Amino acid sequence: MLQDYHFNGILADDMGLGKTLQTITLLVSDQGKGSSIIVCPASLIYNWQHELELFASNLRIQVVAGNAKERKELIEQYTSYDVLITSYDLLRRDLEIYEGCKFFYQILDEAQYIKNPGTQAAKGVKQITAGFKLALTGTPIENRLSELWSIFDYLMPGYLYEYSCFKKELEQPILKSNDEAAAKRLKQLIAPFILRRLKKDVLNELPEKIEEVRIARFDAKQQALYDGQVVKTLKLVQSQ
């Protein structure tokens, strides 16, 4: 529906409710309409490749990795693939090559990576041209409301106003004064563009999350390496 009306959105389901599988279903349903790009943390690139190969083996998938020359060749052939997968850092390095590329979908996984609009990661993803933008994150707000603003600034720049206006009219009244009217207004603004399900509402039989803290101590070699790095960093800081 959002795509039909030329809006963008956030899939903010709790972890474990299948954001990856829902996204793959979306990609499969629109196969042949254009090339899409998935941007994720470097540690998840090959997980996305594995999941796509497992659940959508008919899609032509390409991981954009390797050295600069190899990545350039892959990006220049982007129309030969249904889905490109790259990391936030590599996207930032390859922005010039992406100029002129027009993607059907741009999908950000772990979209809290762009919670600070001043970072190169946040600035980089905004320079990609795509027909529909989808942000995946189970934590659209981790610490501050400005993080939500940053994601919306990627999805629909200006929808939540300039940040100075957002901060004055919504963020500060909500955080400092617990302004219910401001909170209600913000909820009304963002609700149509966020799909969020909680695990307790979907899978009642699951127990609460169990957390266990385990301490892993360094061995002698690791401790010596760590101590050396601490000394080096202190000297660096003190020399500034």
- Contacts by residues 68-77 (CB-CB < 8 Å, ≥ 24 positions apart): 68/93, 68/94, 71/97, 72/97, 75/101
Can you give the pLDDT at residue 173? Answer: 92
Rounded distance between C-alpha atoms, residue 93 and residue 193, angstroms:
30
Per residue in 137-181, pLDDT (tens digit) is 988 887 788 899 999 999 999 999 999 999 999 999 998 888 899
Specify the pTM.
0.81
Can you give the pLDDT at residue 156? Answer: 94
Can you give the pLDDT at residue 83? Answer: 97
Residue 124: φ, ψ to 5°: -65, -50
Greater pLDDT, 200 or 131: 131
Per residue in 84-120, pLDDT (tens digit) is 999 999 999 999 999 999 999 999 999 999 988 888 9
Rounded distance between C-alpha atoms, residue 124 and residue 166, angstroms:
22
Rg (CA), the chain: 21
Q: Are 55 and 104 in contact (CB under 8 A)?
A: no
Per residue in 185-238, pLDDT (tens digit) is 999 999 999 999 888 888 777 777 788 999 989 999 999 999 999 999 998 888
Q: Is 32 left (phi over 0), alpha (psi -120 to 50) or beta?
A: left
Rounded distance between C-alpha atoms, residue 195 and residue 137, angstroms:
10
Mean predicted lDDT score pLDDT of the chain: 91
Tell me the mean pLDDT in the region 44-57.
Answer: 95
